[in-house]
Structure 1
Amino acid sequence: MANKKFNSWIKNICMGWGFIMAGSMLSSCNDLMHDDLPPCDMGVDLQFKYDYNVQRADMFNDHVGGLSVFVYDEQGNFIARHDAYNDATSQPLKDPNYAMRINLEPGKYRFATFAFQKKYEDALAQPGAKFQIALPQQGDNITALHARLDREQGKVNNQSQPLDTLWQGLSNELVEVKDLQVTRHTIGLVRDTKQLTISLHQTDEPANINADDFSYQITNANGDISYDNSLLPDEELTYTPYYTWTTEFKDTEGNVKERTAHAALMFSRLIWHPAEENDKNAILTITNKTTGEEVARINLADFLAQGRGAFEARHYSEQEFLDREYDYKLDFFLQGNQWKYVQLSISILDWSKRIQRVDF
């Protein structure tokens, strides 16, 4: 019996030393006196996804080429910026398992993100209008973070270039970083730049139309995007095509039987407003440059939002659809100098909707 008590006493002593040694090893992770010891993993691994689209597929690795992540503390004060991007020698964002490791002390943090098709500074070096991030200084509040589209006296000068695609993302809640471990968190991105292709068809004289005969513009106060993807108060901006062209359809003898005029535009995020706030909606205007006559003036957000009918089972609201979809096509069928009806098409489906002009 005495031997059993003695053995139990020895066992407890050994276990006690084991706990002491383990505690010593844990504390030595941050012990600056032991540079030869491996560092402990701690901080946050940020992953990113872009599945807020009508495809409902994560296209982050295929579409995004550059990230700028801004780190804020629990009170919303700026701490640091971290970037990741693809280039000629390395393409980390194409890796499906990519995660951005950020070393942080224990605490609670928020992460705000703007993403592009390339490194942010490389995007700025390209011709055309750019979204300029108001880069924060140490201690700035998160509410000061925003991206503002270049303009010259209210006109977005694209210099015949499409806008570099802009995505925005924000951690939905405070992310807690704990001592001696890595926290994992995923940020979802929303695409804010949209593409619209306009095609004009003449019903009475199909061959009598040319893209150069018309001017095309979108007006909307939507060029300043906050950290949370809301639109900040802005002046009214004017967007014009970055490319126009005319296609021809010939018969077997080479005679032109029909022409179609085309214009491609890119613009910032659209917000859908109800009828009583129609003055806030984006307006698309098409004008005949020869006669000065307005061919079309439409509430663009309302027209494009009708594309949600292609996804009736999803029950998208107007705003959710406008934020998920990014590639639209409007075919205007003209009778004389007025549009008779419009065919709306969206990017991924063989789907279209005919919108008749009610006062024609």
Structure 2
Amino acid sequence: MANKKFNSWIKNICMGWGFIMAGSLLSSCNDLMHDDLPPCDMGVDLQFKYDYNVQRADMFKDHVGGLSVFVYDEQGNFIARHDAYNDATSQPLKDPNYAMRINLEPGKYRFATFAFQKKYEDALAQPGAKFQIALPQQGDNITALHARLDREQGKVNNQSQPLDTLWQGLSNELVEVKDLQVTRHTIGLVRDTKQLTISLHQTDEPANINADDFSYQITNANGDISYDNSLLPDEELTYTPYYTWTSEFKDTEGNVKERTAHAALMFSRLIWHPKEKDKNAILTITNKTTGEEVVRINLADYLAQGRGAFEARHYSEQEFLDREYDYKLDFFLQGNQWKYVQLRISILDWFTRIQPVDL
């Protein structure tokens, strides 16, 4: 009899503690009057990857230095912005296990991301053209979110600086946050800024060429990138080199035997248009002295031929253009006419020779 009473007493104590613990948990989560109580583990842990490249390696921690994440509810209405970035005192994005904790009430959400090499506001403070995010206001629809490249009357004024690298990312589906637990979700990033190095060689007179003898430009209406990485309608932009130089090759006596003219350009995302010729990105190179157009090509079409370096992957033209970001074109001139071009993919030491074709 004594044992039964003792067991009953122990049971009542345990039940009492259970109610106290449950009450504490509910209070810590929902009682806004008690700021000294510990917060709930509830919301989402966002992780990020950048493996959409030809290397097929996650280079997020090595390349990305700043993130701006925009949170939208199930109806696509803006709720909040969250940022993370590396600086001189802390470099959280270099941690391979980095996750952005966002506290959210139970519900379904979408997360749109723009990323840079540094904190967004620091990127804006640098010289040269920048991608400006149209920062949303409370309740704005996700379709209003976009990043627009600076321009002056259609010209991208880089001020001799490369563009700060831009990545875009979007949760592929609605992410559900449940009560009293943390949801984990990974967002993949796509790099939208591209690098092109042009080299010009003279076949008849190898030493008779100089980078300053030519003007180089890319034209395309591609400077406004939406939240889902599509291109919004835009004016035609003109990109020019941020750097040009001439290299020399000398013999043992110091005589110049050959020169090569070089130009480095950066530009926004290219879309491959096999039929809509008026939408093509066009690369032109002009002889400043004669005013003659030396090169004119459909840039996306030529660069997309680099997918031949990865035949086993079966990349489409557009997938290759989105994965690759560093291109090299070597034009071989005879007089003022180019006879062929070599497209090089540096990571494989691969190249292909392309003959001139009509646009």
Structure 2 length-normalised TM: 0.94
Query: Per-residue CA shift, 1:217-236, capped at 9, x if unaligned?
Result: 00000000000000000000
Cα shift at 1:192: 0.2
Distance in 1 of aligned mates of 2:225 and 2:67: 16
Change (3 A) 1:39 1:359: closer
Unaligned runs of 5+ in 2: none
Distance in 2 of aligned mates of 1:315 and 1:8: 71
Change (3 A) 1:359 1:235: closer
SS at match of 2:27: helix
CA contact (8 A) 1:168 1:191 kept: yes
SS at match of 1:348: helix
Change (3 A) 1:32 1:341: same
Between 1:17-26 and 1:260-269, the stretch displaced more is 17-26
CA contact (8 A) 2:117 2:164 kept: yes
Cα shift at 1:130: 0.6
Change (3 A) 1:144 1:36: closer
Identity rate, percent: 97
CA contact (8 A) 2:28 2:40 kept: no
Distance in 2 of aligned mates of 1:87 and 1:69: 18
CA contact (8 A) 1:30 1:39 kept: no
Query: Per-residue CA shift, 1:258-287, capped at 9, x if unaligned?
Result: 00000000000000011x212211000011
Distance in 2 of aligned mates of 1:130 and 1:61: 22
CA contact (8 A) 1:215 1:288 kept: yes
Cα shift at 1:2: 13
Distance in 2 of aligned mates of 1:324 and 1:337: 34
CA contact (8 A) 2:165 2:191 kept: yes
Corresponding residue of 1:330:
329
CA contact (8 A) 2:71 2:111 kept: yes
Distance in 1 of aligned mates of 2:301 and 2:181: 49
Cα shift at 1:88: 0.9
CA contact (8 A) 2:78 2:140 kept: yes
Aligned length: 359
Change (3 A) 1:32 1:346: same
Distance in 2 of aligned mates of 1:180 and 1:114: 29
SS at match of 2:21: helix
Alpha carbon RMSD of aligned pairs, Å?
2.2
Between 1:347-356 and 1:245-254, the stretch displaced more is 347-356
Q: How does 1:1-360 map to 2 (within 5 A)?
A: 18=18, 21-22=21-22, 25-274=25-274, 276-357=275-356
SS at match of 1:132: strand
Cα shift at 1:23: 5.5
SS at match of 2:276: helix
Unaligned runs of 5+ in 1: none
Distance in 2 of aligned mates of 1:212 and 1:352: 26
Change (3 A) 1:195 1:19: same
Runs of 4+ in structure 1 deviating by more than 6 angstroms, as ranges, are: 1-10
CA contact (8 A) 2:116 2:166 kept: yes
CA contact (8 A) 1:129 1:149 kept: yes
SS at match of 2:187: strand
Change (3 A) 1:5 1:87: closer
Between 1:349-358 and 1:124-133, the stretch displaced more is 349-358
SS at match of 2:348: coil
Query: Per-residue CA shift, 1:336-360, capped at 9, x if unaligned?
Result: 1111010001231110001122589
Cα shift at 1:29: 3.2
Query: Per-residue CA shift, 1:305-349, capped at 9, x if unaligned?
Result: 000011111100000000000000000001111110100012311
Distance in 2 of aligned mates of 1:352 and 1:24: 67
Cα shift at 1:37: 2.9
Change (3 A) 1:80 1:257: same
Distance in 2 of aligned mates of 1:23 and 1:312: 62
SS at match of 1:308: helix
Change (3 A) 1:35 1:145: closer
SS at match of 1:254: coil
Cα shift at 1:36: 3.9
SS at match of 2:55: coil
